[in-house]
Structure 1
């Protein structure tokens, strides 16, 4: 089987989970009868959905994570079935994993929908990993570049994988 980029980048984060003393098992995760390629069940009750971005972009050096409608629906279904559901945003160039909960992702999307006056086909989550600072995850104001909507989520660089087991 050929190794895909996602195997490399998700695998780097999965190793960190497996090395944690609270780790016991990891399995593929299903939504209904379908296996979700980018999600895993950790231990008995933790669901983790992975996304990766290789390099930061633009003036603000943001890692760009795009969530299409079908991915958002998958995450919602996963969160319904698993009380502890997280999104692991692998920032490859920074060699960091920014972890947010499914509820935090839903809040960011809801704020964007409210500001936009309705749903969009996809949502872009941005993460910055400035040296010496915590990670920041946010969405921008609709129609305004470089304007953060609300307050960014501040995520400690050492939060992953601890936040999954907390």
Structure 2
């Protein structure tokens, strides 16, 4: 099987998850690419960009928003994992991404990640995240 670039970027995130001491299992949540179940109670939506430097912008189509909303409604701890090229991985919790995007929107939403200094600053089509995200928040923040 030919290796696709997107698989390499997803692999960067998934490898860090599987090496974590609290990791037990990783499964596809459904047929959607980048949608995973970790252990038995966590859902991840992994997005990537191959862009080599900040800022990195990620688009969430209405079907992505519906998937995330469904995970939350089903009681899963839900996270968005943004693979920012070969530079960093930005982990957003439900509390974080609810400030950034409107999950009920019928139109696409976006999230932008920047690194003005040592941490990540994140804003989206719905607002700006208060505070910064540290580079080491992933994968620990999932567990």
TM-score by length of 2: 0.87
Larger radius of gyration: 1
Instruction: Identify which of 37, 42, 52 aligns with 2:38.
Output: 42
Separation of aligned partners in 1, 2:125 and 2:52: 16
Q: 1:11 to 1:55 in 2, by over 3 A?
A: same
Instruction: Identify which of 103, 117, 124 aligns with 1:139.
Output: 124
Q: 1:129 to 1:82 in 2, by over 3 A?
A: farther
Q: Deviations over 1:51-101 (max 9, x none)?
A: 0112267xxx3101011111111111122224311000001142x110002
TM-score by length of 1: 0.76
Paired residue secondary structure (1:16)? helix
Question: Number of residue pairs matched?
Answer: 143
Shift of 1:104: 2.5
* Equivalent residue number for residue 132 of structure 2: 154
CA contact (8 A) 2:84 2:90 kept: yes
The two structures, once aligned, show a CA RMSD in angstroms of 2.3
Instruction: Identify which of 109, 122, 142 aligns with 1:123.
Output: 109
Q: Runs of 5+ in structure 2 lacking a partner? A: none
Q: Runs of 5+ in structure 1 lacking a partner? A: 114-118, 142-148
Q: 1:152 to 1:139 in 2, by over 3 A?
A: farther
